[in-house]
Amino acid sequence: MPEVTVTEHLLLHQKLSPHATGMFTGLLYDLILSGKSIAMRINKAGLLDVLGGTGMVNVQGENVQKLDDIANHILLYRMERCGALCAMSSEEEPDLIRVRPEFPQGDYILIFDPLDGSSNIDVNVNVGTIFSIFHRPEGGSGEVRLEEVLQQGCRQVAAGYMLYGPSTMLVLSTGQGVHGFTLDPGVGEFLLSHPNMQIPEQGYIYSVNEGNRQNWSDASREAVDWFHTTRAANGKHYSSRYVGSLVADFHRTLIYGGIYMYPPDADKPQGKLRLMCEANPLAFLAEQAGGKASDGYGRILERQPDKLHARTPLFIGSRRDVEAVEAIYARYPR
Ligand code: P6P
């Protein structure tokens, strides 16, 4: 396969929206540079003093790992200087971050989870950076207001993730399909390796933390039990796979099909996953790849966030597998 870089792919193969100009490719350049920097630290984590926790607890109530903090600060530093943003939101930061006036301003808004799945770092399991990109609403000027950031996921102009695993990958959509790029460490470039990624219409893998079963509602139990008793796309029974890193579980689902589920439970009635920095970007990718993403009752991309760190239940993957869950939930009142 000829070596197609991300920039070439965007400029030659993606009819970027008219107002994109070079600002978007500039945004992506600095996002990719941040990912390479994070990947370099993760690949040597065992040799640097970057494993384990910081002893801090973040706005999510989660223990902050050292690499969470490193990844977060790499992205905040780099992206504030990229010249394409007016504001950012990080899973690790309680409040909206407005680009300071001493830095070049742009019209894009970046929302990210700097290092998803970081509880797995100490055991060398895949982790990733998830990002969501919006345009500031038309006519917005002066200090960015929170209302301008709290947009439905269907208004994203781009979304994707960087997956730090056996190879480092960038999976990206700008609204014209989903395309995967693999980092060639020899040249330091992400090169097109997975053009036009498509989720199979039905899969043979379901992915959920069944340890939460005792806290699920009847609807959630029935939805998960469906995958215990229904014949999968391969004519056999469904297999269960759960990495515990959303990016890794989603990436497998994107390629092999099937479904990833994080139902609400008694402890987390709105679900655990964050709408804006986890569910929305992956839902954008899932739909662009021919799949679906639901909260059990409707499209993730139509949920209206009421706050930066809003949570949501998530059922995402093959269209027929997600629809099977929605048909079960439809029989239970909200
Ligand atoms: P549990 C990681 O903290 C994360 O946000 C996702 O990456 C992952 O899918 C999920 O939480 C795992 O949660 O409750 O199964 O450990």
User: Which uninterrupted H or E stretch holds 138?
Assistant: none
Using the mean position of ligand 1's atoms as its centre, give its distance from the Cα of residue 100 in Å: 33
Q: How far apart are CA 278 and CA 145, in angstroms?
A: 22
The pLDDT assigned to 16 comes to: 59
Compute CA distances 289 → 200, 247, 253, 284, whole Å: 9, 16, 11, 9
The reply to whether 54 and 167 lie within a common domain is yes
The reply to whether 149 and 212 lie within a common domain is no
Choosing from 194, 219, 241, the residue where a domain stops is: 194
Q: Which residue's CA is minimally distant from atom 12 of ligand 1?
A: 244
The amino acid at 291: G
Q: Which of 46-60, 67-81, 311-325 has the lowest mean pLDDT?
A: 46-60
Percentage with pLDDT > 90 across the chain:
80
Using the mean position of ligand 1's atoms as its centre, give its distance from the Cα of residue 257 in Å: 20
Question: 210 CB under 6 A from ligand 1?
Answer: no
Q: Which residue's CA is minimally distant from atom 14 of ligand 1?
A: 209
Q: Which residue's CA is minimally distant from atom 9 of ligand 1?
A: 246
The pLDDT assigned to 173 comes to: 96
Residue 199 domain flag: no
Q: Which of 57-61, 289-293, 314-318 has the lowest mean pLDDT?
A: 57-61
Using the mean position of ligand 1's atoms as its centre, give its distance from the Cα of residue 285 in Å: 19
Using the mean position of ligand 1's atoms as its centre, give its distance from the Cα of residue 217 in Å: 19
Q: How far apart are CA 116 and CA 166, in angstroms?
A: 16
Residue bearing the bigger pLDDT, 240 or 10: 240
Alpha helices, DSSP H only, in 215-273? 218-229, 246-256
The reply to whether 180 and 103 lie within a common domain is yes
Using the mean position of ligand 1's atoms as its centre, give its distance from the Cα of residue 190 in Å: 27
The reply to whether 240 and 125 lie within a common domain is no
Identify the band that residue 154 occupies on the pLDDT scale cut at 50, 70 and 90.
Answer: very high
The pLDDT assigned to 14 comes to: 67
The tokens of 3 are what?
Answer: 């070596």
The pLDDT assigned to 122 comes to: 84
- pLDDT of 138 over the 60 cut: yes
User: Which uninterrupted H or E stretch holds 71?
Assistant: helix 66-80
The reply to whether 151 and 280 lie within a common domain is no
- Of 67, 71, 76, 66, residue with least CA distance to 96: 76
Question: 263 CB under 6 A from ligand 1?
Answer: no
- Of 23, 111, 103, residue with least CA distance to 10: 23
* CATH code, domain with 161: 3.30.540.10
pLDDT tens for 190-249 read 999 999 999 999 999 999 999 999 999 999 999 999 999 999 989 999 999 999 999 999
Average pLDDT of span 121-131: 93
User: Does the pTM exceed 0.85?
Assistant: yes
Average pLDDT of span 313-332: 98
Question: 66 CB under 6 A from ligand 1?
Answer: no
The residue segments making up the domain with residue 300 are 205-329
Mean pLDDT of the chain: 93
Residue 1 domain flag: no
Q: How far apart are CA 51 and CA 43, in angstroms?
A: 11
Residue 254 domain flag: yes
pLDDT tens for 109-123 read 999 999 999 888 889
The tokens of 264 are what?
Answer: 């609400």
Choosing from 174, 194, 214, the residue where a domain stops is: 194
The reply to whether 54 and 182 lie within a common domain is yes
The reply to whether 124 and 19 lie within a common domain is yes
- Of 180, 136, 187, residue with least CA distance to 161: 180
Average pLDDT of span 301-305: 98
- pLDDT of 18 over the 60 cut: no
- pLDDT of 89 over the 70 cut: yes
Atom of ligand 1 nearest to the CA of 113: 5
Question: 116 CB under 6 A from ligand 1?
Answer: yes
Choosing from 153, 174, 194, the residue where a domain stops is: 194
Using the mean position of ligand 1's atoms as its centre, give its distance from the Cα of residue 249 in Å: 10
End-to-end CA distance of the chain: 49
The reply to whether 14 and 141 lie within a common domain is yes
Average pLDDT of span 111-137: 94
Number of structural domains (the chain) is 2
Question: 119 CB under 6 A from ligand 1?
Answer: yes
Question: 117 CB under 6 A from ligand 1?
Answer: yes
The reply to whether 163 and 215 lie within a common domain is no
The reply to whether 240 and 174 lie within a common domain is no
